Structure 1
Amino acid sequence: MRPAPPSTGFPFTAVVGMDDLQLALILATISPAIGGVLIRGEKGTAKSTAVRALTEILPPVDVVAGCRFSCDPAAPAADCPDGPHATPEAMSRAARLVELPVGATEDRVLGSLHLEKALAEGITAYEPGLLAAAHRGILYVDEVNLLHDHLVDVLLDAAAMGRATVERDGVSVTHPARFVLVGTMNPEEGELRPQLLDRFGLTVDVVASRDPAVRVEVMRARLTYEADPAAFVSRYDGPQRELAERIVKARDLLSEVILTDSALRQIAEICASFDVDGMRADLVTARTAVAHAAWSGRTVVEVEDVRAAAKLALPHRRRRNPFDAPGMDEDQLEQAIQDSTPPPPEPDDDPDGGPDDGGPGGGVDPEPTDSTDGPDADRDADQPQTPVAGPAPTGDVAGSSEPYKARLLSVQAAGAGVAGRRSRAITEVGRVVGDRTRVGRESGRPHLLATIRAAAPHQQARGRTGAGLAVRASDVRLSVREGREGNLVLFCVDASGSMGTKKRMGEVKTAIVSLLLDAYQRRDTVGLVTFAGANATVALPPTGSIETAVRRLESLPTGGRTPLAEGLLQAAEVLRIAAIRDPRRRPLLVLVTDGRATHGDQAFARAKQAAGWLAQRGIATVVVDCEPKRGVRLGLAGELAGDLGAEYLDLGDVAAGNLVRAVTERKAA
């Protein structure tokens, strides 16, 4: 079987310097039971290019003609909504790559009731979604870390079960949904929750090569392709066909590969040595090792298959807490393989005999590792940003202690932001609180009762004489749902010398890290502004990468004078820009200070003026007063909280653990 004629898309075999990524994608297509691939990498590393090129090397798919669910003519699904297919007519089509946009609704993904037909004709008509279109193909989600959590859950459940089930609005449909799930993400924009990371079978970290020769090769290939796509693609026609044929052979060989008891034990011991949770890691590693053996043309799993599988299946499952960086310790893996490999048999006493090869896989040398891979590969992306104004202070650095569990912190009143887990908001999921008119062909969950009420008064004018309801598009009402939204939590932290001892700054950092952990769990965006010396610095622009925020906070030094007004104005500027870029995400400003202002003439008066400006714009704020209890207390932070219209907290009255509890006890109005 050969693939469809090549298009002018960038050839898969022309991708340079991404061997691990290409191998992971190939293994997932050979054995979809592996569970898909998550590709993590900095921007501009051709992640999307490689994924889209994959379809060009996949063999065509035989489907039942006219079936919207791509049933296999050789074994059509018994419960196919378009069935039964008694004597199916077969047709062949190219393998599909279905792209799921970040803003897709659950109805678009799962499918939904055809409302007009249901009301006007009295029939339950189901409109398939993207999962049906992706059956027996590839479902690609770019920026999967920005996708709403409930949609990620839907995708991963379908990928694991091989079926999609819709039970809503009178629709009860189950249809096959076996696909290779491929997600790409930039870690700088936020991580996936560990529970979701674990549901991806394989993961690959992609970084641009630092070798000038490789970078030259990448540029030459891309520029040549852009100059004449057809000619460039034709040069790779032979390698593309050879790769496609090899994938077909590997698929055919997959069922013949033997996973021996010794290989199973080795996989179990390796997974145990990495202290992964649950059994999914063991199962995925085993399936990947079998696929790798088939890809290599072997019928027995060997050590090199286990090694390749572990490198792809374990890195994202090693995280012990949300702020641990994913990655694979190559030395630990080699040690685990060595410890779990049975000893070779004793050599014969025959002096003419050659040296023993160590048994199956016993003499395999460790594969060389790419120095650009590993948990520190994206270190350059995590370096501190250039300060907005002036250098950062160079004083002592206080470390934080173990973070605490934080309670809910929420912005007052209900908003209409992006779905999340913090403040009340009108979102696409949640409980129904009303209805609204549908705009054009807008998708969404219909409100059946409201739609019937809108259509009922017009039945006589529309000439209805029999059963059923005459419904027009203008009658359709959509449900209004109240759920939770994610917020922008901006920390504005006093890093001046007035913050006092390392111990007090350590307590403050511990509290902020705890709040960052809470923000991570609630899928918020966070930012960090610091002020010390003569300037305020944007230590971290608003981002979904909570891990980066923690690293910037931990390395924050203290010292110098206190430019409080500059800190507030810088925070206001960050919030202004954030509102332009993401107007639906409401902000919460957390100001950590003792209220002192010691930089410039009339410093505190200027700080109060900046606070009033923020208050006029309705910015929800919490002021954490870090002034010590001992000695003369000026109460400046409390006065500042009044100017801000903010909730006030006295740090001197609580321990570091209680700080989190008090700060997070904000009730929605």
Structure 2
Amino acid sequence: MNEYPVFPFPAIVGNDSAKKAILCILLNEDLKGLLITGGCGSAKTTLARSAGKISDGKSTTIIPQNTTGERLFGSIDIENAITEGKISITKGILVESDRRIVVVDDINLFDEKIIHTILDTAGSGNLLLERDGFSENIRTRYILVATMDPEEGRLSSRILDRFDLCVETERIEDESARLKIIKSCMAFEKDPVSFSKEYSPEIEELRENIRKAKERLPFVTIPGSLIELISELCIELNVSGQRGDIALAKTAKTLAAIDGRDNVVFEDIRQAALLALEHRRRSPPPGSPQRNPPDESEPEDRRENENNRDDEERPGKGNDKNAENREDLPDHGNRESPENTPWEPGEAPPEQVFEIGSAFNIIEFLDEHSLSRLRSGNPGSGRRRRSTSSDSSGRYVSYRHRDRNKNDIAIDATLRAAAPFQTARDRNGLAIKVDREDLREKVREKRTGDIILFLVDASGSMGVKKRMVAVKGAVLSLLNDAYQKRDTVGLMIFRRKEATLLLPPTRSTDLAHKLLKEIPTGGRTPLSEGVASAVRLLSQGRYSKSTDSKTIVILTDGRANYSGSGRNPYEEMRMTALAASEKKIRFVVVDTEEGFPRLDFAIALASELGATYLRLDELDSRKLAQSIETIVKKGAQPCLKN
């Protein structure tokens, strides 16, 4: 029911891809669900709510953020149960939205069970409602348009795959376009009725085009060569399952119908891939080559010289004339037992200060299954953890029989449980009598806070090949990601003989950039001291009493060449890691090692700590898959020749 003023669809500036996706979802009801993503103020909600004005008479239902499952799906009719003693169902919002457009704002903030039920119902047109021993199958069909801001939490790959279409709103960079947005918004706020009337001809034209496209759609066909292209694209993008293939084919046919054609052409496939496959991309499976092969056209002697140069830079290799430019590291010839390698103290190289590398988008590195999901190709999914509250704080999400929170009664659920028995109870003038067995308590959910301490190796080995430049860029990206998710973050480095806390855990990270830029690199690697200091910080004082989740993110290549106790550094590191693993602290090890052969000391550290292990380059979500545009164009020619 659109009783509120809705910004006209044609008046929205830019966002052509999102507009195209909305036309597709309105035209072809076989497409199940559209997800519009974007940052705050990017017009995603405006786009979603404006869809009803260009549809063929469909009204729009907005799902409020704090809607309970009973109000959304339906529940027992309490009044009928009390007066008649009969159990019947009162309709929920989704049932009332039959033949409408359902808009779910910030769907990523809903409980996953509710999201799955919304998607199941949108896909099947059936809602199975089960309440207190009563079950009913209700028919309802609606067009689902959802929005989300990824910075407020992401959806799992399973949920994303349920949306046939997904599109990201554009960032408007053009000055004239931004000026037009300002003027349009001010005019709409001043007089929404008059502003909307100005676009009435365009709205009517869009409605007529949608009507004609609907009539044409059943007759649109896809040539066999382009069907092959669809399969090739999905395979090359490592799209799991067949939903992507089917959604791509349906979208391509819909785009052809919109353009008034009876045959799908390559351009339809290209545009459809951007709408139907972007959110289904996966990184290559384990074992796939991660590096580009050498250029065969490059002279062999040049490649050999570069390999020799790499060997000279690698610790323990090359000429001794480079010894003063690197740290005196132990001989790592025995990779299986580094604690048995000989270790001799030596002079540390001079200090260096490196610039900060480029920041980038971070994968969900704190998720418990981040590594396995990364290998399976879903780097960007997940969100900060939520937990069931043990007190009366948090959001009311469901109910249960009264147990712990005896004063946090779920009134609605309690009344529903008592209602069917009222005709058999002596109410003594009461409207409803509630017995002890009817009582239900609220189940509340709240976000679990995170205290994240970044522990950075700033020893001389990080200066080899200027690795500290990339590490600083990664730390800055991690800090930005944590800040956006409102985590408490801190920064500690270890070098020479000690660990130094640069930034105590705080929600204000204004000093982080300056501190990162000034971090010196050089000296020995007191790895065990760094880990021990970080653990002490989060295990003592005010942090020991905090109920927030504690995480230490260690960025290191795992090499150690200083021991405060005089023991072998690797043996001391192992003992420290084993002791740390018993604490209620989570560990993430980001391996900064480069080159070949790899010594894999960071993997050993992660194993001893029971930590999630990631490579430095795996943190950057942009590097995990090629752009769809590139892959589509690459696959175009062979299919068009057939």
Equivalences for 1:134-173 in 2 at 5 Å?
134-173=97-136
Are 1:491 and 2:452 an aligned pair? yes
Matching residue of 2:265: 302
Alpha-carbon offset, residue 153 of structure 1: 0.8
The equivalent position to 1:612 in structure 2, one of 532, 541, 563, is 541
Are 1:631 and 2:549 an aligned pair? no
The equivalent position to 1:656 in structure 2, one of 601, 605, 615, is 605
Matching residue of 1:114: 77
Q: Distance in 1 between matches of 2:551 and 2:75?
A: 43
Alpha-carbon offset, residue 39 of structure 1: 0.8
Taking structure 2 as the reference length, the TM-score comes to 0.61
Distance 1:147 1:633, change over 3 A: farther
The equivalent position to 2:231 in structure 1, one of 268, 274, 293, is 268
Aligned partners of 2:455 and 2:552 also within 8 Å: no
State the one-letter code of the partner of 1:177. T
Deviations 1:497-554 (A, max 9, x none): 3798689xx9xx99xxxxxxxxxxxxxxxxx999xxxxxx9554455599xx9xx99x
Q: Distance in 1 between matches of 2:3 and 2:586?
A: 65
Deviations 1:447-478 (A, max 9, x none): 737x889x799725238xxxxxx625899955
Alpha-carbon offset, residue 618 of structure 1: 5.5
Matching residue of 2:39: 42
Aligned partners of 2:23 and 2:210 also within 8 Å: yes
Q: Distance in 1 between matches of 2:119 and 2:185?
A: 34
Alpha-carbon offset, residue 563 of structure 1: 8.0
Deviations 1:537-584 (A, max 9, x none): 9554455599xx9xx99x9998799785664x434879xxxxxxxxxx
Matching residue of 1:289: 252
Distance 1:257 1:284, change over 3 A: same
Distance 1:224 1:259, change over 3 A: same
Q: Distance in 2 between matches of 1:17 and 1:139?
A: 23
Matching residue of 1:180: 143
Alpha-carbon offset, residue 280 of structure 1: 0.6
Aligned partners of 1:124 and 1:170 also within 8 Å: no
Equivalences for 1:558-573 in 2 at 5 Å?
567=503, 569-571=504-506
Deviations 1:374-413 (A, max 9, x none): xxxxxxxxxxxxxxxxxx985899x99997569xx99999
Matching residue of 1:190: 153
Give the SS at the match of 1:240: helix
Distance 1:293 1:410, change over 3 A: closer
Q: Distance in 1 between matches of 2:215 and 2:586?
A: 66
Aligned partners of 2:451 and 2:550 also within 8 Å: no
Matching residue of 2:417: 448
Aligned partners of 1:132 and 1:177 also within 8 Å: yes
Deviations 1:332-387 (A, max 9, x none): xxxxxxxxxxxxxxxxxxxxxxxxxxxxxxxxxxxxxxxxxxxxxxxxxxxxxxxx
Aligned partners of 1:622 and 1:647 also within 8 Å: no
Alpha-carbon offset, residue 653 of structure 1: 12
Alpha-carbon offset, residue 646 of structure 1: 5.8
Aligned partners of 2:32 and 2:122 also within 8 Å: yes
Alpha-carbon offset, residue 17 of structure 1: 0.6
Q: Distance in 2 between matches of 1:545 and 1:649?
A: 18
Are 1:22 and 2:56 an aligned pair? no
The alignment's C-alpha RMSD in Å is 5.4
Matching residue of 2:328: none
Distance 1:252 1:556, change over 3 A: farther
Q: Distance in 2 between matches of 1:435 and 1:115?
A: 24
Percent identity of paired positions between Structure 1 and Structure 2: 24
Matching residue of 1:279: 242
Q: Distance in 1 between matches of 2:486 and 2:242?
A: 28
More helix per residue: 2
Alpha-carbon offset, residue 194 of structure 1: 1.0
Aligned partners of 1:538 and 1:570 also within 8 Å: no
State the one-letter code of the partner of 2:277. L
Q: Distance in 2 between matches of 1:477 and 1:483?
A: 19
Q: Distance in 1 between matches of 2:460 and 2:603?
A: 16
Equivalences for 1:96-107 in 2 at 5 Å?
96-107=59-70
Deviations 1:28-54 (A, max 9, x none): 011121112111112111111121111
| Unaligned 5+ runs, structure 1 | 61-94, 323-391, 420-425, 464-469, 511-527, 531-536, 575-590, 598-603, 665-669
The equivalent position to 1:459 in structure 2, one of 426, 434, 458, is 426
Distance 1:50 1:430, change over 3 A: same
Q: Distance in 1 between matches of 2:33 and 2:433?
A: 42
Q: Distance in 2 between matches of 1:137 and 1:432?
A: 38
Deviations 1:482-502 (A, max 9, x none): 798652232112336379868
Alpha-carbon offset, residue 276 of structure 1: 1.2
Aligned partners of 1:251 and 1:294 also within 8 Å: yes
Distance 1:263 1:646, change over 3 A: closer
Q: Distance in 1 between matches of 2:547 and 2:6?
A: 50
The equivalent position to 2:531 in structure 1, one of 573, 594, 600, is 594
Q: Distance in 2 between matches of 1:622 and 1:185?
A: 27
Aligned partners of 1:190 and 1:543 also within 8 Å: no
Distance 1:114 1:293, change over 3 A: same
Q: Distance in 1 between matches of 2:181 and 2:529?
A: 47
Matching residue of 1:362: none
Give the SS at the match of 2:137: strand
Distance 1:481 1:263, change over 3 A: same
Alpha-carbon offset, residue 202 of structure 1: 0.8
Q: Distance in 1 between matches of 2:113 and 2:194?
A: 44
Alpha-carbon offset, residue 142 of structure 1: 1.0
Give the SS at the match of 1:655: helix
Q: Distance in 2 between matches of 1:499 and 1:479?
A: 61
Aligned partners of 1:203 and 1:315 also within 8 Å: yes
Distance 1:255 1:556, change over 3 A: farther
Deviations 1:218-254 (A, max 9, x none): 2222222223322211111111111112112222222
Alpha-carbon offset, residue 26 of structure 1: 0.9
Deviations 1:151-174 (A, max 9, x none): 111111111111111122132221
Distance 1:119 1:39, change over 3 A: same
Equivalences for 1:504-543 in 2 at 5 Å?
539-543=480-484
Matching residue of 1:254: 217
Distance 1:596 1:180, change over 3 A: same
Alpha-carbon offset, residue 24 of structure 1: 0.4
Aligned partners of 2:33 and 2:165 also within 8 Å: yes
Matching residue of 1:228: 191
Give the SS at the match of 2:138: strand
Taking structure 1 as the reference length, the TM-score comes to 0.59
State the one-letter code of the partner of 2:564. V
The equivalent position to 1:57 in structure 2, one of 46, 54, 57, is 54
Give the SS at the match of 1:307: helix
Aligned partners of 2:32 and 2:164 also within 8 Å: yes
Give the SS at the match of 2:178: helix
Aligned partners of 1:41 and 1:186 also within 8 Å: yes
The equivalent position to 2:89 in structure 1, one of 122, 126, 131, is 126
The equivalent position to 2:182 in structure 1, one of 201, 210, 219, is 219
Are 1:12 and 2:18 an aligned pair? no
Q: Distance in 2 between matches of 1:295 and 1:556?
A: 57
Q: Distance in 1 between matches of 2:486 and 2:549?
A: 22
Q: Distance in 1 between matches of 2:551 and 2:273?
A: 46
Aligned partners of 1:437 and 1:476 also within 8 Å: no
Give the SS at the match of 1:127: strand
Distance 1:562 1:200, change over 3 A: farther
Q: Distance in 1 between matches of 2:206 and 2:232?
A: 33
Distance 1:501 1:142, change over 3 A: same
Give the SS at the match of 2:283: coil
